[in-house]
Structure 1
Amino acid sequence: MQNRWSATLVISLLLVLSGTIACGGKNVHMTPASTQPAAQGVAELKHDKNGNLTVDLKVKHLARPEALTPPKTTYVVWIQSSNTAARKLGELKVNGKLEGEFKSPVPAANFQIFVTAEDGPTVSEPTGPEVLRQTVGVSQG
C-alpha cells in the first residue's frame, strides 16, 4: 500500500513539474549577424496570467544604428511564422551602453524572431540589414 502511495506521489510531482516547465519561461539566445558579431540577445518567452505568450527581448553590445554602414536610425523587432509575411512587433531602442529591451505579446508559439536596422520605426516590412535572429518553439501552457 505504501509503494502505491509513493508511486502516486512521484507521478503527481512529475505531472506538476512538467506543467511548470511547459508554462514557465523559456530563454532563447539570438544569433548575431556576421556584420555585428559582438551583438548578444536573449528573448525570454513566457505565458502571462491570461495564458497569452509574451516576449521580453534584451540585447547587449548592439551598435548604435547611426554607426552602421549605411547608417540607419533605429532597430525594429519582427516575427514570422511559416508561410506568412513578417509582422512588425515594434521598435527596439538602444541606449548609450549599447543595451536595449523590448517587450510585446506574440500571436504564435512557433516563429522566427529577428531584428533589423531600419531608416525609421514606421516601416511596414523589413528592408534593412538583419542583426539578430532565432527560431522559437514554445509549448502551450
Structure 2
Amino acid sequence: MKKIQLAPKLIGLGLVALAAYSFFNRPKKMTFSGSSMIPEAKGSIRLHRDKNKNHTIEIEVSHLVPADQLNPPKEIYVVWMTTQDQETKNIGQLRIFTGFFSKAYIGSLFTVTPSKPSSIFITAEDKGDVESPGEVILST
C-alpha cells in the first residue's frame, strides 16, 4: 500500500499562496516630480493597503529647502491628497530633519487614511491646519 505524502504538497501550495499574496499586496511606489521652487528636491511615496482596508502612506523627500528660506518664506510643508471622489484633504505635515552624514534637509511623513489617494502633493504653508492648499511645491 502506498503512503500519500500530503505534507510536502501542502507546504508547496502554502508557499505559492504566500508568494502570490506578497506579490499582489506589496506597497505601490510613486515619485514626486520637482518644481521650479525646489528643482533639486526628490521624493518617493509608498502606498499600502493594510489588513483593515485602510491606506498607509509613507513619504520621504530629500534635498528640501527649509520653508522659511522659500520666496515668500513659509513655516511648514503640508502634505495633501486628492481622493478618487476628487476631494482634497490635508493629511499632515512633513517632519524635517538633516541627514546623518549630510546637511541636506529631509522631510518625512507616515499616515493612515480610509480613503484611497489618487494623487499626493506638497505645499508650503504658514500653518499646518489650513483647509485648502496654497502653491504646489511637489506633486505625484
- Supply the distance in 1 between the matched residues of 2:129 and 2:113 (Cα, whole angstroms): 19
Q: Deviation of residue 82 (structure 1)?
A: 4.3
Q: Which moved more, 1:105-114 or 1:30-39?
A: 105-114
2:133 equivalent to 1:131: no
Note the C-alpha offset of 1:53. 1.4
Structure 1 portions without partners, runs of 5+: 1-8, 135-141
Kept in 1: contact 2:45–2:59 (CA 8 A): yes
Identity value in percent: 28
Aligned-partner SS, 2:97: coil
Please report the TM-score for the alignment, with normalisation by the length of structure 2.
Answer: 0.77
1:78-97 to structure 2, matched below 5 A, reads 78-96=80-98, 97=104
In structure 1, the residue corresponding to 2:68 is in which secondary structure? helix
Secondary structure of the residue aligned to 2:130 is coil
Find 1:48's aligned residue among 50, 56, 61.
50
Deviation at 1:20, TM superposition (A): 1.8
| Distance (whole Å) between structure 2 residues aligned to residue 75 and residue 86 of structure 1 | 16
Return the index of the structure with the highest Cα Rg.
Answer: 2
**Pairwise CA distance, 1:107:** 2.8
Aligned to 1:119: 126
Q: Secondary structure at the match of 2:23?
A: helix
The amino acid across from 1:131 in the alignment is: I
Please report the TM-score for the alignment, with normalisation by the length of structure 1. Answer: 0.76
| Residue correspondence of structure 1 range 1-141 to structure 2 within 5 A | 13=16, 16-96=18-98, 97-127=104-134, 129-134=135-140
Shift of the 84–43 alpha-carbon distance from structure 1 to 2, 3 Å rule, reads same
Distance 1:23 1:41 in 2: 22
Q: Are the counterparts in 1 of residues 54 and 115 from structure 2 also a CA contact under 8 Å?
A: no
Aligned length: 124
Which deviates more, 55-64 or 103-112?
103-112
